[in-house]
Amino acid sequence: MLKIERNKELAPFTTLRIGAAAEFFAVLKSRSDLEAAIIWAKEHRKKIWILGGGSNVLISQEVRGLVLKNEIKGSEIVERNDDYALVEAKSGEIWTKFVNFTVQHGLYGLENLFLIYGTVGAAPVQNIGAYGVELKDVFYHLKAIDLKTGHEKIFSARDCRFAYRDSIFKHQLRGRYFIYSVTVKLKRQPDFKLDYGSIREELLKRNIKEPRLRDIVKVIEEIRNAKLPNPALSPNAGSFFKNVEISRAKSEALLKRYPDLPHFSASGGKVKIPAGWLIEKAGFRGKRIGPVGMHDKQALVLVNYDGASAKQVLAFIKKVKAAVKKKFALDLEEEVNIL
């Protein structure tokens, strides 16, 4: 039986530990719970909002309607041959647990995405990525439930319209579907991506010349833990801003002014500039205003140090964006979803 609560505080369900109340709230444990929630929302004429791990969201005001906390979990290998395996995970599964599942079964492709906070269902919405790998690189399809009709639809990678930290679910189909499960296609043989960030360097420090799957995961875990604050100890939403993609001509002009500007090739002939570097050079690495600040080891991560409000966070990020705009004439865009 689906239990629906009224005026439920949402801060405890977000990694930023910030959030107003939900008018109505329920936890989903199964597909039948979801079906019951859709019927209830239709009968009461309430909009449905989906909350996964709460790791990529800032809730700035009361949420009118029914908020569904997704805890529908489970992972399984649905097909396997000598070359690849198809692995499906329910959308409420913790992403890192899913990556661990694939690693334990000796499947290659998700290892660079280890220790990204959040759930499987959020992964295609954001097209999550790290260390030179994005979800779209291994994505096979997803199953989604229409929140108006309750009907299931399968989305291919093309249907999802993946882009950098972007998908159709953030725009045209925002709020329309509940992502029920995600299936990825992983290789049975090693195909490591080691040249982004300091992965190869860290492996060499450990005298690992022929890394195994578990070696890659261990190194990435150590790199991330050294750079990024644990949300359980320092409430944060991970990378608050997207890296900036600009034209090659604009990047060349910037390089003349800033020869140490880090830059990487991006799709469509564009150049990607790390937002963390821009924020640091604009003077905001480790800078705090009241209870809000950018982390001292990773300027891309905004931290709620001491009971910050959504209003204080919004005011702070406005200052960060203005400083970067003034120094580099570049616009930062939030990666975090702001409700």
**What are the catalytic residues?**
165, 239, 335
Report residue 266 as tokens: 């991006």
- Cα distance between residue 245 and residue 117, in whole Å: 24
Say if CB 205 and CB 267 are below 8 A apart: no
Residue with tokens 């959504």: 310
Amino acid at 319: K
- Cα distance between residue 236 and residue 258, in whole Å: 30
User: What are the percentages of helix, strand and coil residues in the chain, rounded to 5?
Assistant: 30, 30, 40
Tell me the DSSP string of 172-224.
TTTTTEEEEEEEEEEESS-----SSTTHHHHHHHTT-SS--HHHHHHHHHHHH
Report residue 170 as tokens: 């953030």
What is residue 61's three-state secondary structure?
coil
Axis crossing angle, helix 213-227 with helix 95-104, rounded to the nearest 10: 160
- Cα distance between residue 51 and residue 172, in whole Å: 19
Strands 271-273 and 288-289: unpaired
- What is the Cα Rg of the chain in Å? 20
- Cα distance between residue 72 and residue 92, in whole Å: 5
Amino acid at 274: P
- Cα distance between residue 112 and residue 220, in whole Å: 7
